[in-house]
Chain A
Amino acid sequence: MKTFDPVQMAIPFFVLAVILEIVLARLGKANARYEAKDTAMSLTMGLGSSIAGAILGGAIFAATVWVYQHRIFTIPMTAVWAWVILFFAEDLTYYWFHRIAHERRFWWASHVNHHTSTHYNLSTALRQTWTGGVAGTWLLWLPLSFLGFPPAMVAIQKGVSLIYQFWIHTEAIKKMPPWFEAVFNTPSHHRVHHARNARYLDANYAGILIIWDRMFGTFIAETDEEKIRYGTVKNLASFNLLTNVFHEWIGIGKDVVRHPRHALGYMFGPPGWSHDGSRDTSHTLKAKWRARLEREGEKSTASEAHAAE
């Protein structure tokens, strides 16, 4: 069945935008860094993600149609009000999907490869998962069809969200106007999301609207105090494509085999969770960062007092 797919239509725009960012950076007109192997990894991930999506897409769409057949309401696809409600409902769904994908290891395993680039440029946006379908995150969108939004309508809105999120993967745009930064996800907000600095971890999960992060307490603003470092807490040791796709899944498997009594914790605990507390989670990393800040604050207060004497 042929349906309108905004993402397919946007692919030429993605390609041109990446070329434009590279050329402008080369001419010194834009702030962007590209490393060939990193770019190759990002783009190959994007291509592979399309293939994985095509393989599982039919089954996922069939499940969505089945849920729609048992819907509560019948929402017309041609009504403007329906699109407005869906815009907010889909974006809220995306926020929770994205938050779970960062805060629970099973779903982090499928999402982590979007974050393994140590660069932040438009090619990073295309570094998409191959295993999202298997991880089952698409289940979170089923309630929309159960409510009565036609599956094609939901698919289009998901595509719109994905396209929106392309342009925010750049260092070339420093800040948007304040009103825009207050309401929408922007390059600045999303740079924070891709940071591996402890202060920025687990923040800014927004798709299109940043208001969800502000509402649910996960918003962190970009600051000039500390330069953002991109990637994951432990950057990957190689440019191996399969390592990038499967390393966290393999890590889960190894942990479950070694510690079967703690299997649930290793699968569904936060990334970095361990039964003996020997590893760091975002929570412990942030706690250590705060402790360092306090120590440094005490040191500088003491040295100021000493200087005053």
Chain B
Amino acid sequence: MDKALLIQLLGSAVAVSLLVAIAAWARIPRPTPPLDADGARALLAVEFPDDPVDALWIAADGAGVVARSGDRALVVWRKGDGYVARDLAWSAALAAKPDKGFLRLKTADGAPRLALNDGAWPPREFA
């Protein structure tokens, strides 16, 4: 490999590391406090504006939401300082098995790990 190119690559890698370290040091992400019912509904209204919410459950740590909308489960979970939204069949969401206080829901391209309140699934909100 060309020496100048190698130096350039190494220099770039150092610069990337430095910038990431400065970004972490600065602590200026978006504030994402644990979700409450109002926050969760507002988030669902943004992510699924055409889907009415029949029932709602918020993860124990406030970092995720599962809502029933007819025969679909609407799932929103925290990623970094933002949220990811997906849906899946309601029957599949109900059939998910809890494991050591957490529930892993398999969506088409993501599998959020949601903290359960008392280790039980489905929660009483979905009874």
Q: Using CB atoms and an 8 Å cutoff, list the residues of chain A in contact with chain B.
A: 11, 15, 18-19, 22-23, 25-26, 32-40, 43-44, 46-47, 50-51, 54, 118, 123, 229, 231, 234-239, 247, 288-289, 292
Contact = CB atoms under 8 A, between A and B. Distances in A.
Contact of A288 (B19, B26, B50): B50
Interface stretch (B58-66, B74-82, B95-103): B74-82
A25 B22 CA distance: 12
Interface stretch (B7-15, B33-41, B118-126): B7-15
Given A33-B29, A33-B30, A36-B23, A239 B80 contact: yes
A26 B80 contact: no
Given A15-B15, A33-B28, A33-B29, A39 B79 contact: no
Interface size range of chain B in the complex: 20 to 34
Contacts of A44: 16
A291 B26 CA distance: 42
B79 A40 contact: no
B108 to A, nearest CB: 9
A18 B20 CA distance: 10
Shortest Cβ-Cβ A-B pairs, 9 listed = A237-B110, A36-B24, A39-B23, A118-B82, A34-B23, A26-B26, A43-B16, A35-B29, A40-B20
Given A18-B19, A33-B28, A123-B19, A38 B50 contact: no
B86 interface: yes
A54 B2 CA distance: 12
Contacts of A234: 85-86
A34 B86 contact: no
A3 B54 CA distance: 63
Given A35-B30, A35-B81, A51 B23 contact: no
Contacts of A38: 80-81
Interface of B: 5, 9, 12-13, 15-16, 18-20, 22-24, 26-30, 46, 49-50, 79-86, 107, 109-112
Given A11-B12, A23-B22, A118-B80, 20 more contacts: A15-B19, A32-B28, A33-B28, A34-B29, A35-B30, A39-B19, A39-B23, A43-B16, A51-B9, A54-B5, A123-B19, A234-B85, A236-B84, A237-B79, A237-B86, A237-B107, A237-B112, A238-B110, A239-B79, A292-B49
Contacts of B26: 22-23, 25-26, 34
Contacts of B24: 36
30 contacts: A11-B12, A19-B22, A22-B19, A22-B22, A22-B26, A26-B27, A32-B28, A34-B26, A34-B28, A35-B80, A35-B81, A36-B20, A36-B24, A36-B29, A38-B80, A38-B81, A39-B19, A40-B16, A43-B16, A43-B20, A46-B16, A123-B23, A229-B46, A231-B82, A234-B85, A235-B82, A235-B84, A235-B85, A239-B79, A288-B50
Nearest to A36: B24
B63 to A, nearest CB: 14
Nearest to B21: A36
B43 to A, nearest CB: 11
Contacts of A32: 28
A25 B86 CA distance: 32
Contacts of A40: 16, 20
Contacts of A23: 22, 26
